[in-house]
């Protein structure tokens, strides 16, 4: 029996299998509002047979957007636009939905990847960025303003307000974005955080604000919503954030009621040296799971069905998340189930599509 296609309880959420669709930025929103693109994009992924669908990084404030075209959840307009997408998905799919809430910090005010992804300076129509410390992400980029006490409270309140909007939308869970060099990761990493107050210096101080945000989000929504965090397990830079500190963060998240931890890496420094290979981040998830018992989701160049099956069957992580592989093959779970002799959920409109030799593919 395929372990990849066994049910899993992710906090309060009952999932039909161990496959998650990872958040993937689309840079296609208008003033933070979901558009027809999101209806098409998320709609067809909701028919893929995966266990859970995570939306792209969704900004909790306008200045927290990676780009001007980022999805947002800071206003009633944002909420109403996303509600249309959620309603359509709910009509045709039972797949649980998790929204990833984030703030880009010093990596905000950037162009979309197909426009080069570079910093948009204030003189070119960009906006002033904020961060733990006034240190630019890369030479020549906008120097952020260090968040003071009032600024920290505003960011935390923005996460709470967005979390409440997500609950009002009927979304099933929240992933707090603490990875990929964005604001909460910036607080964790000594490469970006050189504060001398209670939010900088020691590991406990650097973890303080991300943990405060998690606690605030957890308290803002009912226990029926899953709440977890995505982290970068290492900066891949000497002297930066690394796996030992990630294990400690996972311990603290577990103590504060986090339902899962989604383990990625990198993003805080252009000096990173990442040794890319299939499943190159899975070992980080495996260590965090082994040392903390925290439910873990692994991600990163997981592309093959047997590869994913081995990760789950060997206990390296509790779930696997696919991003680019899912964009390339939106029916990846169908094809994985066919290879592994498992069943997958599919809408009845598509039942006729299964090959004759796979007559029991759709459960």
Residue numbers annotated as active site: 182
d(CA 345, CA 343): 7
Location of structure tokens 């300076």? 121
Q: Render the burial of 81-118: b for 16+ CB within 10 Å, e for the rest.
A: bbeebbebbeeebebbbbbbbbbbbbbbbbbbeeeeee
- On the 0-12 / 13-18 / 19+ scale of CB atoms within 10 A, 310 is middle
If one counts every other C-beta atom within 10 angstroms of the C-beta of residue 249, the result is: 26
Angle of helix 36-45 relative to helix 76-92, nearest 10 degrees, comes to 40
d(CA 218, CA 227): 6
Parallel, antiparallel, or unpaired for β 8-10 and 13-15? Answer: antiparallel
β-sheet bridge partners, residue 342: none
Residues 6+ apart with CB under 8 A from 295: 10, 11, 228, 259, 260, 261, 289, 318, 319
């Amino acid at each position: 029996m395929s372990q990849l296609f066994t049910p899993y309880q992710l906090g309060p959420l009952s999932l039909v299998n161990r496959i998650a669709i990872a958040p993937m930025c689309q840079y296609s929103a208008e003033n933070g509002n979901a558009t027809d693109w999101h209806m098409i994009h998320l709609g067809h992924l909701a028919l893929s047979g995966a266990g859970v669908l995570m939306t792209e990084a969704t900004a909790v404030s306008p200045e927290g957007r990676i780009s001007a075209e980022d999805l947002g959840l800071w206003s009633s307009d944002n909420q109403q636009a996303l509600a249309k997408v959620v309603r359509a998905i709910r009509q045709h799919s039972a797949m649980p939905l998790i929204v990833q809430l984030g703030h880009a910090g010093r990596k905000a005010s950037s162009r979309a990847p197909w426009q080069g992804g570079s910093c948009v300076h204030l003189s070119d129509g960009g906006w002033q960025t904020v961060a733990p410390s006034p240190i630019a992400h890369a030479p020549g980029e906008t120097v952020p303003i260090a968040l003071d006490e009032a600024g920290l409270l505003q960011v935390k309140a923005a996460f709470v307000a967005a979390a409440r909007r997500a609950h009002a939308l009927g979304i099933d869970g929240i992933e707090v974005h603490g990875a990929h060099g964005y604001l909460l990761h910036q607080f964790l990493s000594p490469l970006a955080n050189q504060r001398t107050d209670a939010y900088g210096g020691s590991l406990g101080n650097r973890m303080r604000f991300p943990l405060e945000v998690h606690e605030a989000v957890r308290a803002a929504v009912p226990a029926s919503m899953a709440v977890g965090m995505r982290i970068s397990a290492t900066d891949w830079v000497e002297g930066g954030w690394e796996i030992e500190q990630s294990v400690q963060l996972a311990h603290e998240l577990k103590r504060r009621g986090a339902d899962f931890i989604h383990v990625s890496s990198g993003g805080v420094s252009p000096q990173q040296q990442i040794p890319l290979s299939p499943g190159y981040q899975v070992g980080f998830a495996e260590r965090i799971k082994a040392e903390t018992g925290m439910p873990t989701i692994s991600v990163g160049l997981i592309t093959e069905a047997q590869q994913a099956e081995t990760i789950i069957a060997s206990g390296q992580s509790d779930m696997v998340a696919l991003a680019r592989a899912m964009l390339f093959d939106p029916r990846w779970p169908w094809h994985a189930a066919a290879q592994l002799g498992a069943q997958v959920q599919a809408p009845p409109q598509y039942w006729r599509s299964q090959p004759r030799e796979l007559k029991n593919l759709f459960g």
